[in-house]
């Protein structure tokens, strides 16, 4: 059984090095394009709640615009010493359309 519910994302227009804020299944997600690859991560910095889509990327890390906390786009882990992380979401392309996977709760997977 699939652990994610896959949600079609429309109107995605992310330029190289850019970010776009999306609302998917009640979650606010930041879609990032870095080195030709798309990443989907949580949009709120866990340190101070800042909007990460207002930040920037460098070396496959998203940087918070408020206190400069950095998070790996692949794993969501914060830099050493931060002790925090952001959620990451899987992406897939099917028939030329982009989908974001939102993890199903254990209850929903059971039934």
| Rounded Cα–Cα distance for residues 15 and 2 (Å) | 30
End-to-end CA distance of the chain: 11
- Its pTM stands at 0.87
- 43: number of Cβ within 10 Å: 23
**Rounded CA separation 103/34 (Å):** 23
Give me 5's structure tokens. 């519910």
Q: What SS3 class is residue 52?
A: helix
What φ, ψ does residue 54 adopt, rounded to 5°? -90, 0
Q: pLDDT class for 64, splitting at 50, 70, 90?
A: very high
Residue 106 — pLDDT band, cuts 50, 70, 90? low
Per-residue pLDDT for 18 more than 80?
A: yes
> Which pLDDT does position 14 carry in this prediction?
84
Q: What is the mean pLDDT of residues 54-67?
A: 94
């Amino acid at each position: 059984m699939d652990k994610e519910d896959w949600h079609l994302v429309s109107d995605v227009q992310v330029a190289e090095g850019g970010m776009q804020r999306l609302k998917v299944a009640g979650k606010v997600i930041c879609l990032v394009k870095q080195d030709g690859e798309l990443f989907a991560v949580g949009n709120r910095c866990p340190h101070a709640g800042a909007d990460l889509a207002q930040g920037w990327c460098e070396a496959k890390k998203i940087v918070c615009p408020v206190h400069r906390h950095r998070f790996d786009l692949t794993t969501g882990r914060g830099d050493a010493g931060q002790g925090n992380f952001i959620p990451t979401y899987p992406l897939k392309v099917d028939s030329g359309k982009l989908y974001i996977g939102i993890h199903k709760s254990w209850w929903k997977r059971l039934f």
